[in-house]
Structure 1
Amino acid sequence: MRFISTRTHGVLDCLSGLLILGSPWIFDFDEQVYPPHVIFGMLEIGAGLFTERVPYRHGEHHRGDIRGAH
């Protein structure tokens, strides 16, 4: 089932990544630990930015697919 669009999912990934990345400073625990939050926050933002927004269906080709170009 599809409840939200892929674009919306990417935006939510980026927003949650920002929250994770900034949480040590937002919630004032940066003196105890912050590197894991920065790393995983950046990974989450990257996932939101670089995830393919057009679903791949077997047998179909989309823009930029060199396998379908002859």
Structure 2
Amino acid sequence: MKPFISTAFYGFFKYILALTLIATPWIFKGFDGTKLADISSAALLIPIYIGWLQLIMNIFSDTEASPIRQFPIKMNMVLDTVMGFILFVSPWLYNFKAKAFLPEIFFGALLIFLGVFTKRSPFTSKENHSPSKGLLTSTD
């Protein structure tokens, strides 16, 4: 499948996603009405840590929405996929009680989706390598 998410949308959307992840433990509730902040320290801290990492990466990433363009966007997408997987499996990994795992699953899947289907993604974009481009050749 071809990547279809533009890097401009990716950059702007990641700010919203990062701030929502930081606020997740206090915004969302489980099926029994308990907030994520009251369930366990893993349910409280994992979305906050990943949200802050996403915010910092997006500020320094090479997208149209970032003020400081130092971090390669391909590395950002790889880390999005890894952090999305960690967030996705965290309810089972840390055995969240009160069935308050839907925000982690949703935001984890969203991070994986963004990391894979954004243009210039290393997972769906193919690099054009020519044999003589960037390689040292010998004249012997």
Same fold flag (TM > 0.5): yes
Counterparts of 1:48 and 1:30, CA distance in 2: 29
Q: Which runs of 5+ in 1 are unaligned?
A: 55-70
Q: Which residue of 2 aligns with 1:28?
A: 95
Counterparts of 2:91 and 2:97, CA distance in 1: 4
RMSD, matched Cα: 1.8
Number of aligned pairs? 54
Q: Which amino acid aligns with 2:116?
A: L
Q: Which amino acid aligns with 1:14?
A: T
Question: Is 1:46 equivalent to 2:121 in the alignment?
Answer: no
Of residues 22-31 and 10-19 in structure 1, the stretch that sits farther from structure 2 once superposed is 22-31
Using the TM superposition, give the Cα deviation of residue 32 of structure 1 relative to its aligned residue in structure 2, in angstroms. 2.7
Cα deviation, 1:22-61, whole Å, max 9, x if unaligned, reads 110111105531222111111110000111228xxxxxxx
Structure whose CA Rg is larger: 2
Change (3 A) 1:30 1:49: farther
TM-score w.r.t. the length of structure 2 is: 0.35
Identify the structure with bigger relative contact order (alpha carbons < 8 Å, sequence gap 6+). 1
2:99 aligned counterpart, secondary structure: coil
Q: Which amino acid aligns with 2:115?
A: G
Counterparts of 1:32 and 1:44, CA distance in 2: 21
Question: Is 1:16 equivalent to 2:53 in the alignment?
Answer: no
TM-score w.r.t. the length of structure 1 is: 0.65
Once the two structures are aligned, what percentage of the paired residues are identical?
33
